[in-house]
Structure 1
Amino acid sequence: MPITICTNSHLRNHQNKHMPHIQLNESLPGIRALLAFSPHTAAPLGALANTLLRSDNGLTPAERELIGAYVSSLNDCFYCQHSHAAIASCYLSNNTELVNQVISNYHTAPVSGKLKALLCIAGKVQQSGRNVLPADIDNARAAGATEHDIHDTVLIAALFCLFNRYVDGLATVAPTDMNSYRQRAKQVAAMGYGSHVYTSQQP
């Protein structure tokens, strides 16, 4: 089942041919083109993504990817939203319906109260870090979130705001073929984030 979390207007916008703002390898979509363009910044960004999104300390990799996909949807970043939704789906045995539910309305999605409380925090970080209130932290703790869960949620949300603005601020190419996201997601789920993900052409 394809990931279909986007508005029709957003999809139409990405179907229009545009040129990246700088000279990139257009066979590499999204952030992969930027990381190939700038290897010296790619290394620390990739290492941070791998450390933060592949960890199973507290939050699962699936939950971490869901947070990233949700924040990307709030930032209206087509490439990151669909990339990380597809990766989350891989971790969830291809349960794209659940991923769609979380991104479209996590309040009614069949996920834990802890994840819902953390998604609330992530959504506030997307707006401004100062929007996170003590009550939001208390709610997350009451739902079972640890200090590390809360820390990682805020860092994931902040990191995805960086990634989203990096990708869209330089007008990178975002494929509208959903199969390309699923194919790349399998590679990330199996091998993690690194140069093998960023520098080879689309499958």
Structure 2
Amino acid sequence: MRGDSPLSVGERELIAAYVSSLNSTRYCAAAHGATAAHRLDGDFDLVEAVQTDLATAPVSDLMRALLEIAGKVAESGLSVTEQDIAAARALGADDDTIHDTVLIASAFCMYNRYVDGLAAITPDDPAVYRMIGAHLSDNGYLPGPGE
């Protein structure tokens, strides 16, 4: 989520949050949604719009095409069609962009199942997720001292 990619950190986190919302994994959808918002100039409304209705969310055509691919990966990798890839390419996506989108979507399908399968604690307070998002935005995924 923080290595080299044609996608910004905010875009990668938005893909993770979108897939997590489709998978109904509240913890990941909220935590990665907040991280995306912090990395996208504090635009929590944008993240909510994507998670609520991608068709009307105020994202670029390219980001919408990538999120549509990610959403299909959440259903099944076999749901992604040649037309989906061609549409993303026509809007400027290269192999690395498509690869990273599919990788993030697939990884978060696994992470979502892991979190849900462990019955992880899922706070109800949105402020908790804003704190988690701020921490992930500022520090990435490296463990803190003593962890």
One-letter amino acid of the counterpart of residue 189, structure 1 = S
Q: Is 1:179 matched up with 2:120?
A: no
Alignment of 1:127-146 (within 5 A): 127-146=75-94
Instruction: Tell me which moved more, 180-189 or 131-140.
Output: 180-189
Residues 1:120 and 1:77: Cα distance change in structure 2 (over 3 Å): same
Q: Is 1:192 matched up with 2:101?
A: no
The corresponding residue for 1:78 is: 26
One-letter amino acid of the counterpart of residue 117, structure 2 = G
The corresponding residue for 1:169 is: 117
Alignment of 1:150-169 (within 5 A): 150-169=98-117
Give the CA RMSD over aligned residues: 1.3
Q: Please list every run of at least 4 consecutive aligned residues from structure 1 whose deviation after the TM superposition is greater than 4 angstroms.
A: none
Q: Is 1:57 matched up with 2:5?
A: yes
- Higher RCO (CA < 8 A, seq sep 6+): 1
The answer to whether the Cα contact below 8 Å between 2:18 and 2:50 also exists between their aligned partners in 1 is yes
**1:184 shift after superposition:** 1.6
Measured against aligned partners, the alpha-carbon deviations of 1:14-72 in whole angstroms (never above 9, x if no partner) come to xxxxxxxxxxxxxxxxxxxxxxxxxxxxxxxxxxxxxxx12452111111111100000
Q: Number of paired residues?
A: 146
> 1:131, 1:113 → 2: CA distance?
20
Structure 2 gaps, min length 5: none
The corresponding residue for 1:104 is: 52
> 1:114, 1:157 → 2: CA distance?
16
One-letter amino acid of the counterpart of residue 119, structure 2 = A
TM-score, normalized by length of structure 2? 0.95
> 1:56, 1:96 → 2: CA distance?
25
> 1:97, 1:66 → 2: CA distance?
12
Instruction: Tell me which moved more, 185-194 or 135-144.
Output: 185-194
Q: State, as a whole percentage, how many aligned pairs show the same letter.
A: 49
> 1:135, 1:82 → 2: CA distance?
31
